[in-house]
Each structure stands twice: as structure tokens, then as C-alpha cells.
Amino acid sequence: MGPCDDDNESNELVDDPSEDDVDVDVDEDALANDMTLDEYMEDKSWRTWACDTTYTEEGENVEYRTETSNQTVLTLKCKRGCSWRLRARLDAYSSSWHIVTYKHGSCVLGSDTVSAGHIHLTSFVINNVIRNCVAKDPSIKQQALLSIYGTWEGSYSLLLRFLKALQHSNAGLVVEWFFKVDNDAGVYVRPNIRTFQRVFWAFKPCIEGFNHYKPLIAIDDIYLYGKYRHKGIFPLAFASVEKKCIGAWSWFMACIRKHVTQRMSLCVVSDRHAGNIATMEELGWQPPYAHHRFWLRHLLSNFKRVMGNVQRKKLFGRTAEQR
């Protein structure tokens, strides 16, 4: 591949004449900023990069279709039929894709069409557009998160108002807050400031209704299957915690005992999370107060992951189901 003759002012490149389908018309003005004729891509992921350029840099808002796609050539054209075109070849020496054709088009989608959902405006493209901006100014990411989710203080204030509204509209609602007053070193630093860490709440109808149910509690993403699938689930209590850990599980289960039920011989079903296991070994959750069991579906998944054998998993399941 080489440049045109100096005497020829045409915006054309000359491909190797031995190649098939020679079409190398190039609008160099279109390539002046981010897309150059020497632009190489390691694989065909540049297809998305092409959309990135046409959508965000050139402002053409082109929706394209793939005309040719094989091991050596990839050609994209405007889906609506205008002259927009992008073509690349695989360089035999570098094993990279070399852009040889790029043309502007006359097809410009209106802002209403784009906002309704551009067919090629994916999260990958958006990432390519904004990552350089974020790299130059990391505060942009924080500003975006703040605009979407608000501040920590704002979220806490919203949670406080939400639970007060629940208490106002649901008589007998039980709420218990947990605030952190010590830092990691165990030193009480700010006596007038408490840091929110957890909150527990349970509705009075749920608390009273549980007395008429079987003494079974399922926690932490435990679902019913078989004849009980999508039915028979009775919500008992809720909590918002800092993370799934031993301390959070211990506090949550203590709230269950304190506010929801003091029944004996409760059966608590969970997965094998360390927090669940440690909590069920505490006073109030040991026999005869409660009995801890693991969900068979989780055991089967763990068994298959360790053994790597579906048939053994089925045999283990049948054995575990025997009475």
C-alpha cells in the first residue's frame, strides 16, 4: 500500500492490485482527527470503535450494517443507504486490521431517534468515549455517581424519612437502628456524631402471622422449588447492613429473636456462608432453641463444583432426599 502520486490531488489510496474488491476511496478530512489511515486494530473490535467515532466525534449518528465480514476484509455501510462507508483489511505482516476506507455520509439521525435508542450505542462504546476524560479527571466519575445516587448523607436522610413514613402508615412497625461510634482502633473520637451502619425493621402483621406458620425460617437468598415454587413465602423481617459478614448476621438474627419470635425448636435454613454458620452457633440458636440446616440445592451446587460430575451430583441429591 502506498500514497497517491504527488501530481494527483485525489483522496485515494492504492491497494495491492492482487487483492480482490479494491475500493479505497478515502475522505481524509473525515480521518483528520481520531481516525487515520495508519490506524491499526488488533481485532475486529474496531467495528465498535468505528461506531464510537461516527457517533460521538463526527456527529453523523450513523446506524451501519455489515456488508462483508471474513478473515481478511470487513466492510461496514450505512444501514439507511447513504454514502457512509468504513472498510478494513487484515495486514498479513502485522496481523492487525488496517483501515483503508472511510467516507462521510449524508444520513444524520435526529436527536429524537438517537435518544430513543441508537442501535450501536452500547456500554462498550460509551466506555471508550468517556474513559479518557475520566482518566484525566477522576472527579468526573465521582460527580456522575453523585448525580445518580446522591451523597451518603442524602441517602441516609432518605432512609430515615422512608422508615418514619412506614411507621406512620403501619402501626406496630418495629425498627431498630445500629450506629457505629468507634473507629477501627477502638477509640471514641466524635462523641456528638454517630455513624449509621445497620437498620432492622419488621411489620406487625408479619410478626403476628408467623405464630400460625410452621417454625421454619429461610435466610439469605433461599428460594422454594417444586410444589412450593413462587408461593408459600411469608416475609418476616428486613434489614439494611454494611455488608454480609459475621457481625451483620449475628446482629440481624439477634433482632429476629428480640422482636419477631421466641419460639422453640425453630428450623433455620441457609447456605454455608461463614456469617450464617457462626451466628447459628451462638446462644439462642442452638438446640433446643433452634436447629440449623443447609439448603440442599446449594449443597448440590457445591458438590458439582468440587467433584465436576453431574451423575454423582444426581446420586448425592437422591441420597440426601431419602428419609
Average pLDDT of the residues in 204-210? 95
Q: How many CB atoms lie within 10 A of CB 152?
A: 11
How far out from the chain centre does Cα 320 lie?
Answer: 35
pLDDT at 132: 78
Task: Report domain extents, the chain.
Answer: 40-145, 151-320
pLDDT at 192: 67
Instruction: List, in order, residues 6 or more apart from 112 with CB less than 8 Å away.
Output: none
Task: Provide the percentage of residues in the chain whose pLDDT is more than 70.
Answer: 67
Confidence of residue 133 (pLDDT cuts 50, 70, 90): confident
Q: Which residue has the higher pLDDT, 213 or 12?
A: 213
C-alpha distances in angstroms, 323 versus 69, 207, 220, 224, 320? 60, 32, 26, 19, 8
| pLDDT one-digit tens code per residue, 90-122 | 888 877 878 888 887 776 555 445 455 566 666
Name the average pLDDT for the chain.
75
| pLDDT one-digit tens code per residue, 150-201 | 888 888 889 999 999 999 999 999 999 998 865 555 555 566 677 889 999 9
Confidence of residue 313 (pLDDT cuts 50, 70, 90): confident
DSSP-derived pairing of the beta strands 64-69 and 73-78: antiparallel
pLDDT at 36: 44
Q: How many CB atoms lie within 10 A of CB 183?
A: 11
pLDDT at 24: 40
Examine residue 288 and say whether the peptide bond preceding it is cis (omega within 30 degrees of 0).
yes
* Residue for grid cell 418476616: 236
| pLDDT one-digit tens code per residue, 268-292 | 998 888 888 999 998 789 999 999 9
pLDDT at 202: 97
Phi-psi category of residue 95: left, alpha or beta, with phi > 0 → left and psi -120 to 50 → alpha: left
Average pLDDT of the residues in 253-260? 95
Please classify residue 62 by burial: count the beta carbons closer than 10 Å to its beta carbon, then call 0-12 exposed, 13-18 middle and 19+ buried: buried
Average pLDDT of the residues in 125-133? 74
Q: Which pTM value belongs to this model?
A: 0.56
Is the predicted pLDDT of residue 204 greater than 90, yes or no?
Answer: yes
pLDDT at 100: 84
| pLDDT one-digit tens code per residue, 52-84 | 455 444 445 667 788 888 888 888 888 878 888
Give the Cα-Cα-Cα angle 291, 296, 301 (nearest 5 degrees).
Answer: 135
Q: Which residue has the higher pLDDT, 190 or 263?
A: 263
- Helices 310-320 and 296-307 cross at an angle (nearest 10°) of 150
Average pLDDT of the residues in 297-321? 82
Query: Residue ranges of the alpha helices (H) in 71-226?
Result: 111-115, 123-136, 139-149, 152-169, 204-209
Q: Which residue has the higher pLDDT, 210 or 6?
A: 210
* Residue for grid cell 438517537: 114
Confidence of residue 237 (pLDDT cuts 50, 70, 90): very high
